[in-house]
Structure 1
Amino acid sequence: MLYPLKFKPILKEKIWGGNKLKCKYKGDLSQKQIGESWEISGVEGDISIVQNGALAGKTLNQLISEFKTELVGETVFEKFNGEFPILIKFIEAQENLSVQLHPSDTLAKKRHNSFGKTEMWYITEAESNAELIVGFKESITIDRYKDILAKGQLEDVLNKIKVEEGEVFFIKPGLVHAIGAGVTLAEIQQTSDVTYRLYDWLRVDKQGRSRELHTDLALDAIDFQVNSDYKIEYDSIFNSKVSLVDSPYFKTNFLEINQRITLDYSSVDSFVIYMNVGTQIAELTHDKNLFVLFPMETILLPACIKKIEFKSSGTKLLEISI
């Protein structure tokens, strides 16, 4: 009964969001400044709902409960006790996101009874001179950090880098970071919504209120050392998978397609997710059924499906599994 599954995007209003995602998904017209589209989510309160086929209307949790290992794979089901382990998003930043970081699994479990958050970004669009913040310019001590905050000088020590379409970044827990204005990206992360906000550019909401900062919580979660391993270098090879991330939390491959190819998952004990991060459609065929994956669209291949075909005249996919 299982087949490649599309889910209804969950659109999130953000103070820094824009209109691209809203226009793409024809969201609620009353919503403004859409910053995130949660493509596949097992986060409590934001559980994804199937959009296509005979299972339309069922939640992701209902599918896991009903199909278990057929949906997610035996190893994944046992390891995560029936919880869906990753959260898939598209993000559009019309303005800078807050400067933030995420706690480790250990800290998040202790404080929030949650997973920590390891994540990766694939840049789908970047305006001229668009930037990311990743870590500090130089290693600092916790005492110097406190002094910098007290003097309002955090911006001066942040490491800012210009970005372009197609670049990939791996964001570990503890790494201070922010997505800059003019960046649209695909994000793969652990199933967690725990974020510590350090700085929010002195902005306020419509009621004149500043957003909450998590200064004290963040102190023992921050990595104060300079990091240089956050950018993933890779070369695209048409119609062949290229590994981007191979971590304990998720595996992501890049696949650029300009013909018909067959993919075999006989040795993979996991669901597989595809995100179309290119500009052309991709046609997925399974059991003689055709599924069209449009740009900035996501589809989940259940673990019990072991062979599919993809066809495209030239698009780019992220292939994600556990």
Structure 2
Amino acid sequence: MKAIRFDALLKTTIWGGEEVTELKHLSQAPLQVGESWEISGLPGDETLVSDGEFKGQTLSQLIATHGASLVGKHNYERYGTNFPLLVKFMSTAKDLSIQVHPDDAMAQRMGHPFGKSEMQYILHAQPESRFYAGFNADFSADGYSQSVQDGSLMAHLKCHATHAGDCFLIPAGHIHCIGSGNFLIEIQQSSNDTFRAYDFDRRDAQGQRRELHIAQAREALDFHAYPTHRVHYDHKPDTASLLVDIPEFVVRLYEIEHTLNVDYATTDSFIIYIAYEGDALLHYDEGDVHLSAGHTILFPASTTFVRIEPGAHGFKALETYC
């Protein structure tokens, strides 16, 4: 199978910024694009193949036809036609809500296949930008309920200053809030289940306060304090730098100025590249494909190698697979 491109889904949000449309050079995009869903298999929000012989098809249709050759033998046995990941660019002109996501068990009680563990890689951050992740001391369900009532929840969260190159891992059940002024890539399990614990009493375009999910968040929350949600990684130019390796997904960073050969002969999974700076010509089993900043591509599990030839200004991208 050839590599596959998808038409991204632009999501307008109350907190959205401008970086997504600037990176993608979109002159006719709506205002306040908070998210660009690059690859999604979520029912009702599936990205469509943008060109080639599979143009217009969804991921579930592709998996139903091509099975393990597309997603990998283990992924096909484990997930069937449910694509396990959702990949996004995100731009935050304002703080997101304080929120938490369910784990697999809670999601399945809700009738959904996946919980929502996720990671964020910061592409750019304003000088005062922050990321709130985890409690700063062990907390409790009753303490949470009281802090929501009296408006003190933010004081119980651990705060991180953000800079380009920062990486955060947010397991399902961990409280967090992406602060304003961050531009990032988010890779997550294929879920849109978000429980807002607090939203700063903001109102939507109709003047209504946005819905909170106090009881669901209380059920989903892990009240333990953890040392950090910031990922400390070994940065290696011109090779793969491992950022995240968890049962749900693996993420590696590429900052390439010279040709690099990547071996996928024993990788039993699809491979996704999310480019955010520069461009490259990617040679693989079926030929070659060009990938530039702001775009994403999926290589099927049948791919055995990719040779990355960066352009004149280098190539920076994240790679993810299961």
TM over 0.5: yes
TM-score range, shorter chain: over 0.9
Query: Structure 1's 264 and 118: CA in aligned 2 closer, same or farther, altered over 3 A?
Result: same
SS in 1 for 2:110: helix
Shift of 1:229: 3.7
Superimposed CA distance per residue, residues 104-153 of structure 1 (whole angstroms, 9 cap, x where no aligned partner):
11111112433110101110111111101101222222222222222122
- Which whole-Å deviations, capped at 9, do the CAs of 1:14-65 have from their partners, x for residues lacking one? 1000222234446694732110000000000011111133322222222111
Shift of 1:239: 2.1
CA RMSD of aligned residues (A): 1.7
Correspondence for 2:300: 302
Find the counterpart in structure 1 of residue 317 from structure 2.
317
1:68 CA displacement: 1.1
Q: Following superposition of structure 1 onto structure 2, how do residues 87-102 of structure 1 map, counting pairs within 5 Å?
A: 87-102=86-101
Structure 2: how far apart are the matches of 1:24 and 1:296?
5
Is the CA contact 1:98–1:200 (under 8 Å) kept in the aligned structure 2?
yes
> SS of the residue aligned with 1:276?
strand
Percent identity between the two aligned chains: 36
Residue range with higher mean Cα deviation, 17-26 or 60-69:
17-26
Partner of residue 225, structure 1: 224
Task: Give runs of aligned pairs for residues 116-155 of structure 1, distance below 5 A.
Answer: 116-155=115-154
What is the CA distance between 1:72 and its match in structure 2?
0.7
- 1:291 corresponds to 2:289: yes
Distance in 1, Cα, partners of 2:28 & 2:260: 39
Cα deviation, residue 287, structure 1: 4.7
- In the alignment, which residue of structure 2 is the partner of 1:173? 172
CA offset at residue 182 of structure 1? Answer: 0.4
| Deviates most, 244-253 or 232-241 | 232-241
- Normalising to structure 1: TM-score of the pair? 0.94
Query: Does 2:111 align with 1:115?
Result: no
Question: Deviations along 1:195-234, whole A, 9 cap, x unmatched?
Answer: 1001111110121101100001111211222122411111
Are the aligned partners of 2:41 and 2:58 in contact in 1 as well (CA < 8 Å)?
Answer: no
Match of 1:39, SS state, is strand
Aligned mates of 1:211, 1:302 — CA distance in 2: 40
| SS in structure 2 at match of 1:161 | strand
Other-structure match for 2:191: 192
- What TM-score does the superposition give when structure 2 sets the normalisation length? 0.94
Q: What is the correspondence of 1:201-240 to structure 2 with a 5 Å cutoff? A: 201-240=200-239
Instruction: Judge which range, 138-147 or 209-218, deviates more.
Output: 138-147
In structure 1, what is the equivalent of residue 278 of structure 2? 280
How far, CA to CA, are the matches of 2:286 and 2:207 in structure 1? 56
Matched to 2:253, the amino acid is F
The 1:28–1:42 alpha-carbon spacing in structure 2 relative to 1, beyond 3 Å, is farther
Report the Cα distance in structure 1 between the residues aligned to 2:223 and 2:131, rounded to whole angstroms. Answer: 18
| Counterpart amino acid of residue 201 in structure 1 | F
Count of residues paired in the alignment: 320
Give distance in 1, aligned partners of 2:38 and 2:208: 30
Structure 1 gap ranges (5+): none
Could you say what secondary structure the match of 1:219 adopts? helix
Which is worse superposed, 141-150 or 263-272? 141-150
Cα separation, 1, equivalents of 2:142 and 2:64: 49
Structure 1 residue identity aligned to 2:315: T
SS of aligned partner of 1:280: strand
Mean alpha-carbon deviation: is it higher for 78-87 or for 22-31? 22-31
What are structure 2's unaligned runs of at least 5 residues?
none
Name the structure with the higher strand share. 2
Relative to structure 1, is the Cα distance of residues 96 and 145 closer, same or farther in structure 2, using a 3 angstrom cutoff? same
Q: Distance in 1 between matches of 2:145 and 2:8?
A: 40
Q: Distance in 2 between matches of 1:308 and 1:162?
A: 35
